[in-house]
Amino acid sequence: MPHPQTSAQQVGLRLRLAAIAAFLILPVAAGGQSERITYPWIYSAEAWSLQTTASHKWLNDGAALVWEESAAGIRDGIRRLDPATGRLTPFLGFRDAVLAIAKEDRKAARGAVFPDAIDPTGRRLLYVLAGDLFLVEAEGPRALRITQTPVEEKSARFSPDGERLAFIRENDLWIYEIATGVERRITQDGSKTLLNGTLSWVYWEEIFGRQDLGYWWSDSSRSIAFLQTDESPVGIVNFLDHRTLYPTLLTQRYPKAGTDNPVVRVGIAHPQTDGTRIVWADFGDHTYEYIARVKWLPGGSKIAVSTLNRQQTRLDLFWVDAASGKAEHILTEENDGWVNIHDDLRFLPDGKGFLWASERTGYNHIYLYDMSGKLIRPVTSGDWSIRDSGAVFWLRQAIKAVDAKGEWVYFNALKKSSIEHQLYRAKLDGTAIEEISKEPGSHSISFRKAGDFYLDEFSNARTPPGLSLHRSDGKKLAEIASPRTQLAKSLDLVYPEFFEIPARDGFKMPAYIYKPKDFDPKKKYPLILYGYGGPSAPSVSNSWQGTDLLSDQILLRNGFLVACVDNRSATAKAKKFENTIVGQMYGDSELNDLVDGVRWLKEQPFVDAERVGIWGWSGGGTLTLLGMTNSQEFKAGIAVAAVTRWEYYDTIWGEAAVKRPQDNPEGYARTDLTAHAKNLHGRLLLVHGTYDDNVHIQNAWSFVDALIQANKRFELMIYPMRKHSIADRPARIHLFETMLDFWKRHL
């Protein structure tokens, strides 16, 4: 889905490794804010260290492994955490792991730094290098190359017992038996258009949140459920690769709004010594468009499967028998707008029932069911929503743990504030709710399986991320990775001020503003407004803002104010606010809130109302063009990777709110920004990557053509063969320096 791309978390491993490399060869900057914070520095290892903290993995024995993907992490390696004592002890050095791989393949070892996976027992690390798989035994360490083929192996994951490894080769699902070194081919019919255990682009992007989760091990490690995808009905998008003497075409299967989707079904594989038996889920007369989720029930005899209809207004949950494939219908969720997919299905022990999240009241809450699908009671209720604080906003998993003995469920929620993610617990009988986390800000919670300890990745707008160990009652036991507050302090940073802006109907929109260190309330400053605006995708958050925070320091230093306002559908406060955009995504609802927000800001005595700019990335680029073609509030704007016509975007995200073009032609016409290009007001910089496989560059070309037809002047910056994130370090530096130059010239 189109989404904001400016946070460090979304730049990805490619940029992280570039930053580490830069750290190893560049001197560390010194001095105050004016000397130190530059765009090259923002994309350096030192700056990266300010916005990251330790990663971790809970093991089957209840301990955790902790490491950091940074230059410092390379030095410290992986450490083992005993939650009972809070002690960290050395476990494995990354350099030792790489040296072990080098004994197997020196060339492959050059690309090895951090492992791609760690097995649940902690005995082995997995590296995927140049399309081949390597295991590193922690004891020793000793490396073993397990594949050496001319084709790519990918999406490898350990079984729960750590004894097997599943992976994808040429769109077939394979299993590797670690003890014997035997490979088993589970599926036999993979092809360019028939995918087994690996996802099509639209499922990878929209349903599984940019994770190739196309198969699921049973708890016993004996069976695997998987998706089989037929992409042959899906249309093809072409990209021109200029990097060869004769430019070549690269292709992508991409279902655009109103066109055919991939056809997906669920298989359950039972590998045996004499072959593999595959059972296909049988839903009887039930028809569906999308497989939304697959999860094994405790005991391994059934899987839970949820399906969506094409309109995404109905989600059905089934238990599917793993032996026969027969599906039993459990419950139905319906919504007049669309049903949000979530991972908040939690089973109680001994078959006593399950917990399920629903937005049926207009707010997201937890409900208790028996195993037949009969509703027992709501567990939480009120004018607030449970909400996760994950890396991407469309992955929803607010439930963090269930204490069946104490009859508590632990979850993240926006109960205290819509801009904070706090940890709470509620009694399963719905009689009590308690706040567990205390510090204002964002708490990303990970419980160990027993539910008695958790790790809290915490930050707020003034505190970089850190990791701490807690008991289930919230008592802090140990600081695992301290926030780098000294580095932040040395930068002399300016932090955002949070407040609310009333919309025309009184709705309170969350907002923030940055003011320069030497702010003079008697002066008038030009203001740059950042926005995203997508449904339940807030930009205003009391959490560490990473590269956004650092980039904004440069704007402040150059005399600009920086602000952001979340329109109501973006706040994630409630489904009922999200549904205000049904039929017109990035239409009248978002526009009215945007105009109300910017007009309120213009009324402030320190804002120069004649010098207000707007910018955004992806959906934020769309919001920028909406504001600049449907109002006269902005003197200048920058739209990066913007959707300009929803017909050009994918089925799942585009049709959720706007439905199919053939069913809602009026909505598509109203939100067609190319039709409004003739009304452009203010100076515009358009930015796009030619290999953007998310928001295709035809969006930019169509808008450019409409501007030319209307004889409208504009600026254009194209990044050859860059994807949606424009993620490599040189391109990022170039982009943000180009943006700064644009603001200086036009504001």
Q: What's 243's domain CATH number?
A: 2.140.10.30
Q: How many residues does the chain have?
A: 747
Same domain (yes/no): 84, 151: yes
CA distance 201 to 207: 10
pLDDT the model gives residue 272: 83
Bridge partner residues of 166 (DSSP): 157, 175
Q: What is residue 364's three-state secondary structure?
A: coil
Q: Do 476 and 510 belong together in one domain?
A: no
Residue that terminates a domain, selected from 482, 513, 545? 482
- Residue 522 structure tokens: 């008697």
Does one domain contain both 473 and 598?
Answer: no
Q: Which of 90, 148, 97 is closest to 118 using CA atoms?
A: 97
How far apart are alpha carbons 418 and 389 in whole angstroms?
A: 12
Q: What angle is formed at CA 343 by the lines to CA 425 and CA 577, rounded to 5 degrees?
A: 80
Q: Is residue 35 part of a domain?
A: no
Q: Under DSSP, is residue 206 helix (H, G, I), strand (E, B) or coil?
A: helix
Question: Partners of 586 in the beta sheet?
Answer: none
The DSSP string of 137-170 is ETTTTEEEE----SS-EEEEEE-TTSSEEEEEET
Q: Two tokens at 211?
A: 């994770």
Mark whether 424 and 531 lie in a shared domain: no
Q: What is the CATH number of the domain that holds 514?
A: 3.40.50.1820
Do 398 and 412 contact (CB within 8 A), yes or no?
Answer: yes
Residue 56 structure tokens:
């971790």
Question: Has residue 294 been placed in a domain?
Answer: yes
Residue that is written with structure tokens 């929620």 in the block? 413
12 occurs within a structural domain: no
Same-domain pairing of 540 and 647 = yes
Q: Are 143 and 106 in contact (CB under 8 A)?
A: no
In a domain, 27, yes or no: no
3-class DSSP state for residue 324? coil
Q: Which of 635, 633, 618 is nearest to 700 (CA)?
A: 618
* Cα-trace Rg, the chain: 26
Task: Determine contact, residues 633/598, Cβ cutoff 8 Å.
Answer: yes
- Pick the last residue of a domain from 482, 512, 546: 482
Number of C-beta neighbours around residue 252 at 10 A: 15
Crossing angle of the two packed helices 619-630 and 588-602, in degrees rounded to 10? 70
**How many domains, in total, are found in the chain?**
2
Render pLDDT for 546-572 as a digit per residue (tens, 0 to 9).
Answer: 999 999 999 999 999 999 999 999 999
Q: What are the per-10-residue average pLDDT scores of the chain (747 residues)?
A: 50 47 39 72 93 95 95 91 97 96 94 94 96 95 96 98 98 97 96 98 97 97 97 98 97 98 98 87 98 97 98 98 98 98 95 96 98 98 90 85 95 97 97 96 96 97 98 98 96 97 98 97 98 97 97 98 98 97 97 98 98 98 98 98 98 98 98 98 98 98 98 98 98 98 98
Q: Say whether both 460 and 534 belong to one domain.
A: no
Residue 4 lies in a domain: no
Distance of CA 566 to the CA centre of its chain: 19
444 and 524, same domain (yes or no): no
Range of the domain at 394: 80-482
Q: Cα 264 to the chain's mean position, in Å?
A: 23
Q: Please report the beta strands in 231-353, taking only residues with DSSP state E, as ranges in sequence order.
A: 236-241, 248-253, 263-272, 275-280, 290-296, 302-308, 314-321, 327-334, 345-347
Within 8 A by CB and 6+ apart from 428, the residues are 368, 379, 407, 408, 409
Q: Is the same domain home to 445 and 555?
A: no
CA angle 444, 363, 337 (to 5 degrees): 110
Residues 476 and 512 in one domain: no
Could you tell me if residue 182 is inside a domain? yes
Q: What is the pLDDT of residue 35?
A: 65
The encoded tokens of residue 224 equal 């695997």
3-class DSSP state of 129? strand
Instruction: Give Cα 652 to chain centroid, integer Å.
Output: 16
112 and 101 Cβ atoms separated by less than 8 Å: yes
CB 23 within 8 A of CB 74: no
Where a domain ends, among 453, 482, 511? 482
Answering whether pTM is above 0.85, one says yes
Crossing angle of helices 729-746/546-557, nearest 10°?
Answer: 40
Other beta carbons within 10 angstroms of residue 367's beta carbon come to 20
Cα end-to-end span (Å), the chain:
31
Residues 220, 143 share a domain? yes
Phi, psi of 137 (to 5 degrees): -75, 125
Are 106 and 210 in the same domain? yes
532: amino acid identity, one letter: Y
Alpha-carbon distance of 270 to 217, in angstroms, equals 11
Residue 563: inside a domain, yes or no?
A: yes
Give residue-wise pLDDT tens across range 686-695: 999 999 999 9
Q: Tell me if 68 sits within 8 A of 74, measured CB to CB.
A: no
**Residue 108's beta-bridge partner residues?**
none
Q: Dihedral angle at the C-alpha atoms of 23, 26, 31, 34, nearest 10 degrees? A: -90
Per DSSP, the three-state class of 638 is: strand
What is d(CA 117, CA 551) in angstroms, rounded to the nearest whole number? Answer: 32
- 217 occurs within a structural domain: yes
What is the distance between the alpha carbons of residues 18 and 6, in angstroms, rounded to a whole number?
Answer: 17
Q: Are 433 and 574 in a shared domain?
A: no
